[in-house]
């Protein structure tokens, strides 16, 4: 973390907010609970499999851009 801050020229005394992806265990074990962006992993996996099957059967089709909605869970690490 410190190397990232140095590379970005962030003042180490500046207040920083942290977020976690997919609500992993570390979101709960730190002294400050991490806010989390929960990605719909099952939906993403199903879309990937369906897209791969389509590519096998129709290799000339372009790969679509697909957006899926996740859930933002606000906790103490984002200043609340």
Looking at the domain assignment, is residue 1 inside a domain?
no
Residue 3 placed within a domain: no
Per-residue pLDDT of the chain (80 residues; tens, 9 = 90+): 334 444 566 666 777 677 778 877 777 777 778 888 899 999 999 999 999 999 999 999 998 899 999 998 888 887 76
Q: What's the domain range around 69?
A: 15-78
pLDDT score at 12: 67
How many domains in the chain? 1
Q: What is the DSSP letter of 14?
A: S
Note the pLDDT of residue 29: 79
What's residue 10's pLDDT?
Answer: 63
């Amino acid at each position: 973390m410190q190397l990232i801050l140095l590379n970005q020229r962030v003042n180490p005394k500046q207040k920083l907010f942290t977020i976690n992806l997919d609500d992993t265990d570390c979101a709960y074990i730190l002294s400050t609970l991490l806010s989390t962006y929960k990605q719909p992993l099952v939906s993403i996996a199903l879309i990937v499999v369906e897209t791969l099957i389509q590519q096998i059967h129709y290799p000339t089709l372009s790969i679509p851009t697909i957006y899926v909605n996740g859930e933002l869970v606000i906790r103490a690490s984002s200043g609340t």
